[in-house]
């Protein structure tokens, strides 16, 4: 690696980040100025995420300038180290830029709404998992240390019941990293029981969460379709009003009149002999 190559790449990344943050800041400011209720806008979850994602950039600029200005070593070194750690943590919050996709993605909106409405099901899932972990952790510890002989002792062994919690969690959630594996036959029987119980426990609230996801998706889809129809109707009304205005400018005696000969078609497809406006000139 050539000297200065990393700094050049970091400089390019800083330029790209500056452009993106400037664009996001301008968008957030314009939306805040156009909002009818500034308080409701500030309370919005997505708006809070936008602000939290943008603020670390400006805070890092201020802190870097302070660090450059106070470069002499001394008693404030520990304070600067702690401040630098906080700054690195805040820089990691830039990953929240991804959450901005939820504003334009129907799938992410459905996922968030489903999690909001399924808090009770997620709570039940967590309770079931905690109870099962508290049950199988002592069992596997007992099977590996008391009911078997010659079990290897190491950093990844079942040395205690709290150390077995990690194995129970990753086994019941069907992850199974393999860092802690029962070697004895009683331990393997307990492992088989815990894995089977984990599959059943994870499957119990899955049906309810799926139905909630489907219902939330249908509701958001209908809401988006209604918004699209309203915007289209408003656009057609604006275009019709613009045509009337242009014709009125050409002909001062121009005035829209009712035409009772044309049938009216409603949104559900039924047709009735209702009058509609037609542009005629006097």
- In order along its 282 residues, the chain shows pLDDT tens digits of 444 445 677 777 778 888 888 888 898 888 888 888 888 888 887 788 778 778 877 877 776 665 555 554 444 456 656 666 776 676 666 676 666 666 677 888 888 888 888 888 888 889 999 999 999 999 998 888 877 665 445 555 788 888 889 899 998 888 878 788 888 888 889 999 999 999 998 888 888 888 999 998 898 888 888 888 888 888 888 888 887 777 777 776 655 554 445 444 444 444 444 444 444 444
Strand 276-281, strand 254-259: pairing = antiparallel
Q: Domain residue spans in the chain?
A: 12-69+78-104, 119-206, 216-281
How many CB atoms neighbour CB 205 within 10 A?
Answer: 19
pTM above 0.85, yes or no: no
How is domain 119-206 classified at the CATH fold level?
Helix Hairpins (1.10.287)
Rounded to 10 deg, the angle between the 119-145 and 161-172 helix axes is 130
3-state secondary structure of 105: coil
Termini Cα distance of the chain: 83
Span 12-69+78-104: which CATH code? 1.20.120.350
Quote the CA–CA distance of 226 and 268 in Å, as a whole number. 14
Question: Does 119-206 match 12-69+78-104 at the fold level?
Answer: no
Rg (alpha carbons) of the chain, rounded to whole number: 32
């Amino acid at each position: 690696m050539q000297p200065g190559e990393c700094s050049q790449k970091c400089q390019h990344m800083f330029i790209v980040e500056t452009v993106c943050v400037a664009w996001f800041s301008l968008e957030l400011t314009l939306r805040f100025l156009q909002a009818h209720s500034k308080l409701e806008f500030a309370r919005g979850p997505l708006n809070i995420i936008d602000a939290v994602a943008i603020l670390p950039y400006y805070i890092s600029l201020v802190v870097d300038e302070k660090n450059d200005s106070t470069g002499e070593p001394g008693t404030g070194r520990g304070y600067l180290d702690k401040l630098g750690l906080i700054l690195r943590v805040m820089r990691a919050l830039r990953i929240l830029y991804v959450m901005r996709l939820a504003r334009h993605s129907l799938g992410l909106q459905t996922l968030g709404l489903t999690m909001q409405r399924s808090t009770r099901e997620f709570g039940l899932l967590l309770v079931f998992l905690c109870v099962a972990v508290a049950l199988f952790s002592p069992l596997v510890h007992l099977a590996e240390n008391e009911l078997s002989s010659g079990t290897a002792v190491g950093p990844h062994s079942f040395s205690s019941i709290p150390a077995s919690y990690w194995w129970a969690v990753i086994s019941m959630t069907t992850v199974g990293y393999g860092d802690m594996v029962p070697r004895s036959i009683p331990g393997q029987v307990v492992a088989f029981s815990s894995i089977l119980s984990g599959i059943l426990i994870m499957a119990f609230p899955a049906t309810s969460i799926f139905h909630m996801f489907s219902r939330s998706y249908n509701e958001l889809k209908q809401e988006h379709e209604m918004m699209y129809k309203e915007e289209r109707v408003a656009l057609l009304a604006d275009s019709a009003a613009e045509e009337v205005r242009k014709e009125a400018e050409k002909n001062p005696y121009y005035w829209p009149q009712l035409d009772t000969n044309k049938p009216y078609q409603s949104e559900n497809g039924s047709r009735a002999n209702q009058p509609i406006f037609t542009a005629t000139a006097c």
